[in-house]
């Protein structure tokens, strides 16, 4: 049962208890407390939904910012590689692996 269904059932119970003269008499204080708790839970549920929407929006903004930053990093590294040359060992300072000569493989001994 979902929270919404549960709270809907609670509302029906509260309404039924307040509509019944016999139950209403001996539970009046408890029903007032119960009604307050239902309103508090509904308020918290609304707040939770609002925060979920804000979290989703923040996630979208974060993903957009990260994508733009990744593009910028690629651009900067490409410019550094172009400026220093593809084989310059200083490229390591910028997180770029310089091109190196291939090593010759040793012949397999049988």
Question: Is 88 inside any structural domain?
Answer: yes
Residue 102 lies in a domain: no
Two tokens, residue 39: 């309103």
> Is residue 16 in a domain?
yes
- In contact, 10 and 1? CB cutoff 8 Å: no
Residue 40 lies in a domain: yes
Number of domains in the chain: 1
Q: Report pTM.
A: 0.62
Look at residues 62, 95, 65 and name the one whose alpha carbon lies nearest to residue 77.
95
Percent of the chain predicted with pLDDT > 70 = 97
Residue 55 CA to residue 66 CA, distance in Å, equals 16
50-92 confidence digits (pLDDT tens) = 999 999 999 999 999 999 999 999 999 999 999 999 999 999 9
- What local confidence, expressed as pLDDT, does residue 53 receive? 96
Q: Give the separation between CA 30 and CA 33, rounded to whole angstroms.
A: 5
Which of 18-22, 25-29, 74-78 has the highest mean predicted lDDT (pLDDT)? 74-78
**Beta-carbon contacts of residue 1 (< 8 Å; ≥ 6 apart):** 9
- Domain membership of residue 39 (yes or no) is yes
Domain extent for 20 = 3-94
What percentage of the chain carries pLDDT values higher than 90?
Answer: 77
Tell me if 86 is assigned to some domain: yes
Residue 72 lies in a domain: yes
Residue 109 located in a structural domain: no
């Amino acid at each position: 049962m979902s929270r919404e269904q549960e709270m809907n059932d609670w509302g029906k119970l509260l309404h039924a208890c307040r509509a019944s003269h016999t139950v209403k008499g001996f539970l009046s204080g408890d029903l007032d407390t119960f009604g307050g708790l239902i309103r508090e839970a509904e308020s918290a549920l609304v707040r939770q939904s609002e925060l979920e929407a804000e979290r989703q929006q923040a996630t979208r903004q974060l993903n957009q910012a990260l994508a733009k930053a990744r593009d910028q990093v690629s651009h900067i590294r490409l410019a550094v590689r172009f400026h220093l040359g593809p084989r310059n060992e200083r490229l390591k300072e910028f997180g770029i692996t310089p091109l190196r000569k291939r090593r010759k493989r040793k012949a397999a001994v049988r």
